[in-house]
Chains A and B, each alone.
Chain A
Amino acid sequence: MKTLILRQKYLIDFTLSSLKRRLAKNLGLLLVYTLIVFLLASVMLFTHSLRREAGIILESSPEVILQRLVAGRHDLMPAEYLDRIGRIRGVTRKAGRLWGYFYDPAVQANYTLMVPRDRELGRQEVVIGAGIARTRGVDVGDFLTFRSSGGRAFSFRVVDILDADSELVNADLLLVSEGTYRDFFGIPADRFTDIVLQVRNPSEVRKVAEKLTVLLPDARPILREEILRTYDSIFSWRQGIVFVLLGGSILAFVIFAWDKASGLSAEEKREIGILKAIGWETSDVIRMKFWEGSIVSLTAFLLGFILAYLHVFYGQAALFEPVLKGWAVLYPSFNPVPFVDGLQVATLFFFTVFPYTVATIIPIWRASITDPDAVMR
């Protein structure tokens, strides 16, 4: 066992010094390799952290949202539906919600107006998201004026700016009081936008939804797990699309690696010839080349991954942001939470190291069967 380890150690030593002798060639390969890993790892880390972020945010959302449909379109929910639902076993809370969208021509962006359930606001008070504060250049104490759908102007005093930590969801949010909301949009007092229900036991959610469709045939329940699943699929699908697009560059890289590995210089050939003449066996040469490939691969993989990590979590993923996040005028700026997942690393490994290894097997073998007399003559 000890001799085995020592032998590998000497081989690695030898490989390192031989790599150093052809620095320029190997640096070129390393650069391209690192770049490939960097691109793929950036996409992965970024979409994965978006997915996680969405999951964390939805964690605290209600289990069931009930919307009324009229002629296939979303309609306002009569308040008496809350009574018609009555008491469903397993539902711990039910409430009507008020929210809607408002287009602000001044910055050409859509805001989300909402009546908060956990804080009381005055008629003229408003709480705004960090995105709006940034775009409109307002701070606490300033005034914002909007024209309602009826043509009336509403003036609001900003009393608070929402936490920048959850900017992914509240960048475009405006919180107003219930009275102001109804006045602003002209919504009667007995209507809600939708109804939310909280269900304590996750395995009862589907049953509750089933009961709701029986009680209120014109309403559709939307489950939190469905939203989560959609997010999950969409993000992994986007990730896949980018990978397909990058497939071309992976292929180009494989050809490049093949070429580098098979284009042995006369000097390298002589080196292998001499090694074999002094007693190295074919398997020793293969082993040495294996170590060479491993050293290059691991270095490129680590470097590329670290660069991608910095790019995504400290550089806001500047290269891919629009493709992976989607785009809008009023866009949340957010810092993804650093998170590394084993599955992602393994997948990345298969996308980069595996093709490289396969591409270099045959060239390595060709080099290793070199006859000493053929090259030294």
Chain B
Amino acid sequence: MLLNPAIMALIGVSVVVALLLLLAAGFAIQVMRHWDIHSGSELQLNLERRTYLISTILSYAFVAELVSLLLFVYNAEAMSTQFVGAMCATGVLNVDPWGWPTLFLKIAVFFAGGAWLILNRLDNQGYDYPLVRIKYALLLAIVPLVIAEAVVQTAYFLGLDPDVITSCCGSLFTPESEGVAAEVSSLQPRTAVIALYASGGLALLSGLATLRRRGAALLFAGSGLLAFVVALVAIVSYVALYIYEHPHHHCPFCILKSGHDFVGYYLYIPLFAATVLALGVGVLAPWRRIPSLVQAAAVDIRRFTWLALLGFTLFYVVATYAVVTSNLTMQGVWW
């Protein structure tokens, strides 16, 4: 393992967050078993008081997870000078087989945590906490994810060995090699473009439908998630090429570098924010008929849908702008 402050910080944060969530999980089990809003017993009073603690802990924990996702990618980028063959974060994530799973788990925790916080926010607005059981059941589902993330990340950092010759993004994202990365990058750019704009259109339309009619929220969440996955694939197989102005450079991390005007941040931040908000809308939608939540749910759904639509629009505008203003022209080659 490399004894590096950023690595120590990342491991520390994950372990602490996992412990906090275990604590919260213990409480969640108590709530699911004993919660009774109509009871005036000592136990119920205690449980009600403790919900404040759990909300606070979880908000802090998920914010810490978000920052640690950023730090993880940033640190992988910075460590690329310490491994033979690595030229950016891709190479560093490749040094150990647990590298990519860590990143994916971190992203999953980010989405799960964000959606939970949105649900929690709604529940706290109802005077009788109508969603308390559902909320804590969901929390119990998130806990294993967070623990898995802490374990996998520790395994990854322990396995980092500077003597391993890793491969840079140039050799990982080539259609000739094997694996998911290769599959993703060997996708026909034409297919990628069509999928990108089709999924984007679907997300935007279902978002607008959610604003007008109330029935489309779940569709919006689903299409938002789809748009997210397609967008990541499209960045690797299509958008990145135009940003690098090189038909064979597929890396999803190099676009975060200063040499490309940090355009990656303009792509990823709106995309991630919009997706988590869309998921949040999907999580809120089933509860909008509960009497104590009718008004709050309507306001929240509307607000989050608008914000998510804004995020998606921003992402597609930036992606399109990057392609249109690029000096790379592949018209005759690809279509």
Contact = CB atoms under 8 A, between A and B. Distances in A.
Contacts of A239: 4-5
A301 B305 CA distance: 37
Contacts of A243: 5, 8
Interface in A229-251: 229, 232-233, 236-237, 239-241, 243-244
Contact of A244 (B3, B49, B57): B3
B6 A369 contact: no
Contacts of A232: 81-82
Q: A44, A243, A346: which has the most chain B beta carbons within 10 Å?
A: A346
Nearest to A362: B53
B5, B8, B83: most-surrounded residue (chain A CB, <10 A): B5
B143 to A, nearest CB: 17
A350 B53 contact: no
Contact of B56 (A44, A233, A240, A361): A361
Contact of A365 (B2, B53, B67): B53
Interface stretch (A86-94, A133-141, A351-359): A351-359
B82 A241 contact: no
Contacts of A343: 6, 71, 74-75, 78
Interface in B54-75: 56-57, 60, 64, 67-68, 70-71, 74-75
A350 B4 CA distance: 13
Interface stretch (B9-17, B108-116, B268-276, B327-335): B9-17
Given A233-B82, A236-B2, A240-B3, A354 B52 contact: no
A110 interface: no
Contacts of B16: 354-355, 358
A188 to B, nearest CB: 37
* Interface SS, A side: helix
Contact of A350 (B12, B20, B60, B162): B12
Given A350-B13, A354-B64, A368 B82 contact: no
A355 B7 CA distance: 16
B74 A342 contact: yes
Contacts of A358: 16, 20, 60
User: How big is the B interface, by class?
Assistant: 20 to 34
Nearest to B17: A358
A365 B13 contact: no
Contact of B5 (A347, A354, A355): A347
B21 to A, nearest CB: 12
A346 B3 contact: no
A282 interface: yes
Interface string A138-179: 000000000000000000000000000000000000000000
Contacts of B75: 343, 347
A255 to B, nearest CB: 15
Interface string A324-347: 000000000000000000110011
A350 B9 contact: yes
A349 B64 CA distance: 11
Contacts of B68: 350
Given A229-B81, A346-B71, A236 B4 contact: yes
Nearest to A349: B67
A286 B49 CA distance: 12
A66 interface: no
B99 to A, nearest CB: 18
A283 interface: yes
Nearest to A40: B5
A282 B52 contact: yes
A288 interface: no
Interface string B1-45: 011111111101100100010000000000000000000000000
A361 B57 contact: yes
B226 interface: no
Interface of B: 2-10, 12-13, 16, 20, 49, 52-53, 56-57, 60, 64, 67-68, 70-71, 74-75, 78, 81-84, 124, 162
12 contacts: A229-B81, A229-B82, A236-B5, A237-B3, A241-B3, A283-B52, A343-B6, A346-B70, A350-B9, A358-B60, A361-B57, A369-B49
Interface of A: 44, 228-229, 232-233, 236-237, 239-241, 243-244, 282-283, 286, 342-343, 346-347, 349-351, 354-355, 357-358, 361-362, 364-365, 368-369
